[in-house]
Chains A and B, each alone.
With several copies, the nearest count.
Chain A
Amino acid sequence: MSATLNPIKTYTREQMAARAAMDIPDGWFANLGIGLPTLVSDYVPAEREVIFQSENGILGVGPKPAPADVNPWVINAGKAYVTLLPGASIMNSAESFAMIRGGHLDLAVLGGYEVSQTGDLANWSTGDNEQAPAVGGAMDLGAGAKQVWVLMEHVTKSGQPRLVDTCSYPLTTIGSVTRVYTNIAVVEITPRGFLLLDTAPGVSFEDVQARTGAKLHR
């Protein structure tokens, strides 16, 4: 597919995170998945108060500490040292997932392999039987948060679309993704299917449709 497409300039990982961060309203409670989604917190505009949850039991995660300021008792779900904001609270893992599964988080930002036009998400398994599968909190976050945004490259390394008609990888959740932020576009999941909300600079509707595995609405 990619061979026949116009070359386009895409967002970097940091720009993808920044683009998603721009859309998080003041006062939201959000959980950021491990990896790329974690970058989102660095780009929330300073005047907005967004409260980040970490599923190991922190509400009110602050930025990474300087090496000299590390508190060895404060880590996030990615096992990295973090800080606590004033107003932060600690809870046990059952309370943390009750918060996630009870629909209290405004937003979960997750990584993804594929998202279908009905909002199905595949992000935990490639179906490879040799490798021991791992799921962590992805299924809980995907099923529990009010909004589920997926942050992923628009196509695979070999150029195959990741926004698809039907997921080919094992599912994480059914119908719960509300929006996808990729390196070329912002796509909303609607009852009609994929709706293009925005593109990276210089990228056209047609560029995005050409790289998307299902009909793109506008």
Chain B
Amino acid sequence: MINRFVPDLAAALAGVSDGASIMLGGFGQVGQPVALLEALADMGLRDLTIIANNAGAAFGGMTRLLETGAVGKVVCSYPRSSDSTLFQELYAKGRIKLELTPQGTLVERMRAAGAGIPAFFTPTAAGTLLGAGKETREINGRLCVLEEALFADYALLEAWEADRWGNLSYKLSGRNFNPVMAAAAKITIAQCRHKVELGGIDPDDVITPGIYVDRVVHVPEGETAV
């Protein structure tokens, strides 16, 4: 019998080790796997690659991950935050690497990883510093760059509802990067607000089918976003 639920955060993160690449769901304060991130920060890991839209912004567990030197590299589109300069300081000191990617290219590269597309052409970033060094080609009169699929060892997500197959639903802006990362990572770990019976999510309303989810931990943080 399929049962993706694990008893606690430690079981959810079992096996995550030094050097792992980790996608973090969420956009801004919504849809972030806050409890998983806090537990990750407690693990004392090194040389992590963090892939997320706001991976350079510091908040909760992310602040601790950055401060303690657990993160060697960040792949993101917007490593800034109105309430923290921690990433900037680390970057200026050369203590963290940054792979900056346009947000649309970032998420399309994740989508490609999940969809079996090893590489694709896009006009975004063609002719700019962020397209420099990449293969280019003019297609239909437009300069394009070749971008590669972006995989990760782990994805940490936050869902609204989950069942034992690992089917997930999200709430409004909480959807964001979560369903895309679910398919792009080797091991996908979700924390969910609500644990429902199998069939509790209508077939038309499942956003992430359980095939993409390896472990689910129930973290009933209440109904607010953070």
Residues of A within 8 A of B (CB): 26-27, 29, 49, 51, 53, 55-60, 71-75, 77, 79, 84-94, 96-105, 125, 130-140, 143-144, 170-174
A28 to chain B, nearest CB (A): 10
Query: How far is B164's CA from A27's CA once the two chains are assembled, in angstroms?
Result: 12
A55 vs B175: C-alpha distance when bound (angstroms): 12
Closest Cβ of chain B to A87, distance in Å, is 4
Return the contact of B177 from the options A29, A51, A90, A92 (Cβ within 8 A).
A92
- With a CB–CB cut-off of 8 A, which chain B residues contact A173? 127-128
Q: Which residues of B contact A137 (CB under 8 A)?
A: 77, 102-104
Q: How far is the CB of B106 from chain A (nearest CB, A)?
A: 9
Write the B121-135 contact mask toward A (1 if CB under 8 angstroms, else 0): 011111111100000
Q: Which of B98, B115, B124, B172 contacts A90 (CB 8 A)?
A: B172
Q: Is B119 an interface residue (CB 8 A)?
A: no
Q: Which residue of A lies closest to B131 (CB)?
A: A139
A130 to B89, CA, bound (A): 9
Distance from A118 Cβ to chain B, minimum over Cβ atoms (Å) = 12
Closest to B28 in A: A79
When the two chains form their complex, are residues B211 and A140 in contact, meaning their CB atoms are under 8 A apart? no
Is the Cβ of B176 less than 8 Å from the Cβ of A57? yes
Given contacts A73-B174, A101-B116, A170-B128, contact A144 B80 (CB under 8 A): no
- Give the docked Cα–Cα distance between A214 and B212 (Å): 39
- Residues in chain B near residue A174, CB distance under 8 A: 126-128, 143
- What's the Cα separation between A131 and B172 when bound, in Å? 33
**A89 contacts B124, C-beta separation under 8 Å:** no
Residues of A within 8 A of B124 (CB): 101, 139-140, 143-144
Q: What band does the interface of chain B fall in when counting residues whose beta carbon is under 8 Å from A?
A: 35 or more
Say whether B226 faces chain A, with CB atoms less than 8 Å apart: yes
- Residue in A29, A90, A170, A172 whose Cβ sees the most chain B Cβ within 10 Å: A90
Residues of chain A with a CB closer than 8 A to B105's CB: 139-140
Flag if B198 contacts A86 (CB, 8 Å).
yes
Binary contact track B165-190/A, C-beta < 8 Å → 1, others 0 = 10100011111111110010000000
Complex CA gap A43/B173 in Å reads: 25
Please determine whether A135 and B173 come into contact, CB atoms closer than 8 angstroms.
no
The minimal Cβ–Cβ distance linking B49 to chain A, given in whole angstroms, is 16
How many Å lie between the Cα of A71 and that of B178 in the bound state? 20
Query: Cα distance A137–B77 when bound, in Å?
Result: 8
Chain A proximity of B192: nearest CB distance (Å): 15
| Interface hits, B182-226 → A, CB 8 Å | 183, 197-199, 201, 203-204, 206-207, 209-212, 224-226
B100: CB under 8 A from chain A? yes
Task: Tell me, in angstroms, the Cα distance from A71 to B174 when the chains sit together.
Answer: 12
Verify B226–A72 contact, CB threshold 8 A.
yes
Question: Do A51 and B77 touch (CB < 8 A)?
Answer: no
Assess whether A94 is in contact with B203, with CB atoms less than 8 Å apart: no
The residue from B56, B175, B201, B212 contacting A132, defined by CB atoms under 8 A apart: B56
Closest CB of chain B to A32's CB: distance in Å?
15
Out of A71, A89, A101, A125, name the residue touching B209 (CB < 8 Å). Answer: A89
Q: Looking at A60, A97, A105, which has the most chain B CB atoms within 10 Å of its CB?
A: A97
- Give B210's nearest chain A residue, CB to CB: A87
12 A-B pairs within 8 Å (CB atoms) are namely: A26-B2, A27-B2, A51-B2, A53-B211, A72-B224, A91-B175, A92-B180, A94-B108, A98-B114, A132-B79, A139-B104, A171-B128
CB of A93 within 8 A of CB of B78, answer: no
Give the one of A88, A91, A131 with max B CB within 10 A: A88
Task: Decide: B224 and A87 in contact? CB cutoff 8 A.
Answer: no
Q: A92-B178, A93-B107, A135-B78 are in contact. List 10 more A-B contacts (CB 8 A).
A: A56-B27, A75-B29, A84-B172, A93-B27, A93-B53, A99-B183, A102-B115, A132-B80, A132-B92, A139-B128
